[in-house]
Amino acid sequence: MSTPTSSTAAKAEALVASATGVSEEKKPATTAPDYSMFSTPSSLTDVVLVVEGKKLHVSQALLCLASPAFLKMFEGDFKNKTEVPIADKKYADFVEFLLCIHPSTCKPVQRETLDIVLPLADEYEVESLMQRCEQFVLNLFQLKDAQRSDPSNVELVHFLYLSDKYKLSALLDACVIKAKYRTYEGEHGIKTLREFNLLSADTKFRVLSGRTSLLEVTLTGVQMFKQRLDHIVTPECNGCYGPVYNHTSPGCRVQLKSDLLAYFDKLTSYFREDPRYVEVSEGRKLAVKQAK
């Protein structure tokens, strides 16, 4: 991958200093972005991007410094061009993208803009903006506000889809952990959502593997509890004294054990009879074998 020349980088640094007027350390944490900043040329702009027929006056050096994709464009087909058409993009979306990468604004990622700037950051290879998008969602998960930190199935699967599609590994790990505890089947299950079915096979496997591990822990606990039930019943049943020993008294420990065992057998039979459980288990064994 090409990198900006030293002269280009030096020019970009000078432009950053001129545009901001302050160093990175002293730059205000938040500034009101000027949405008209790209509408007119200035001494700092030297190229025009044309989006939906509208002109955006920008600095070629700054774009090259932020985006390897722009660098390839300006060193290739659009070398020495003063106007560059940007096809198949919305003007408002592209302005939002530029505001996020321009050093004088560096607009923060927001929930309303995440789905706008992340695809553009990926397309134009702006790694720093992609990391900011990832960190934005991770920060949501850490909020004390339970509703925002623990999103609905729809929003969680959307974040899972974004992290899978754009290779955001830290966010993907966090989403998989959350997804494995969510309802899988049924009207509100994650399996029924369109974006879940768009996930890569590897990510689906990670979610299902995590759920299987939880089920195995549950089944292990059930088996241990069944063993402990054997110590509840004594040779004599105090709840069944009388002419008929049928163990039907509500306080009978023998009947309690029988009822619990029947319930556990029914619970575990779901996993023995459900072919999907077998498929997931076999799939995990195969993956482990292939990894070796």
Collapsing DSSP to helix, strand or coil, 67 comes out as coil
Domain membership flag for residue 119? no
- Both tokens of residue 253? 């420990």
Domain membership flag for residue 113? no
Q: What is the pLDDT of residue 242?
A: 58
Question: N- to C-terminal Cα distance for the chain?
Answer: 33
CA proximity to 47, closest of 69, 67, 12, 74: 74
CA proximity to 67, closest of 132, 128, 136, 134: 128
* Alpha-carbon span 184 to 176, nearest angstrom: 13
Domain membership flag for residue 121? no
Q: What is the pLDDT of residue 140?
A: 92
Q: Do 87 and 144 belong together in one domain? A: no
| Pairwise pLDDT comparison (269 vs 175), residue with the higher score | 175
238 to 3, 34, 249, 256: CA distances (angstroms): 84, 82, 10, 13
86-95 pLDDT per residue, tens: 999 999 999 9
* Alpha-carbon span 243 to 254, nearest angstrom: 17
- Residue 251 sits at φ, ψ, to 5 deg, of -95, 10
Q: Do 83 and 139 belong together in one domain? A: no
Q: Do 65 and 21 belong together in one domain? A: yes
CA proximity to 160, closest of 194, 131, 116, 126: 194
**Domain finish residue from 183, 199, 215:** 199
The structure's pTM equals 0.67
* Alpha-carbon span 247 to 252, nearest angstrom: 6
**Domain finish residue from 57, 74, 107:** 107
The rounded mean pLDDT for the chain is: 78
124-141 pLDDT per residue, tens: 999 999 999 999 999 999
Q: Do 144 and 233 belong together in one domain? A: no
Give the total residue count for the chain.
292
Domain membership flag for residue 116? no
Q: Do 175 and 254 belong together in one domain? A: no
Q: Do 67 and 44 belong together in one domain? A: yes
Q: Do 131 and 103 belong together in one domain? A: no
Q: Rounded mean pLDDT of 176-204?
A: 91
Q: Rounded mean pLDDT of 252-275?
A: 66
Residue with the two structure tokens 């993009």: 89
pLDDT higher than 70, residue 116: yes
Q: Do 211 and 239 belong together in one domain? A: yes
* Alpha-carbon span 100 to 121, nearest angstrom: 10
Residue with the two structure tokens 């105090």: 238
Collapsing DSSP to helix, strand or coil, 185 comes out as coil
Q: How many domains does the chain have?
A: 3
- Which of 7-11, 175-179, 236-240, 273-277 tops mean pLDDT? 175-179
Q: Do 19 and 71 belong together in one domain? A: yes
* Alpha-carbon span 34 to 104, nearest angstrom: 10
- Measured on CA atoms in the order 112, 113, 116, 119, is the torsion positive or negative? negative
Confidence of residue 291 (pLDDT cuts 50, 70, 90): very low
204-230 pLDDT per residue, tens: 999 999 888 877 777 777 777 776 666
Q: What is the pLDDT of residue 25?
A: 36
Given a contact cutoff of 8 angstroms between Cβ atoms, the answer to whether 56 and 98 are in contact is yes
pLDDT higher than 60, residue 47: yes
Domain membership flag for residue 252? yes
| CATH number of the structural domain spanning residue 69 | 3.30.710.10
| Pairwise pLDDT comparison (4 vs 263), residue with the higher score | 263
- Both tokens of residue 251? 């306080």
* Alpha-carbon span 134 to 230, nearest angstrom: 51
Domain membership flag for residue 208? yes
What's the domain range around 188? 127-199
Domain membership flag for residue 81? yes
Share of the chain above pLDDT 90, in %: 48
Q: Do 193 and 208 belong together in one domain? A: no
Q: What is the pLDDT of residue 181?
A: 86
Q: Do 5 and 99 belong together in one domain? A: yes
Q: Do 194 and 206 belong together in one domain? A: no
**Domain finish residue from 199, 215, 247:** 199
Domain membership flag for residue 115? no
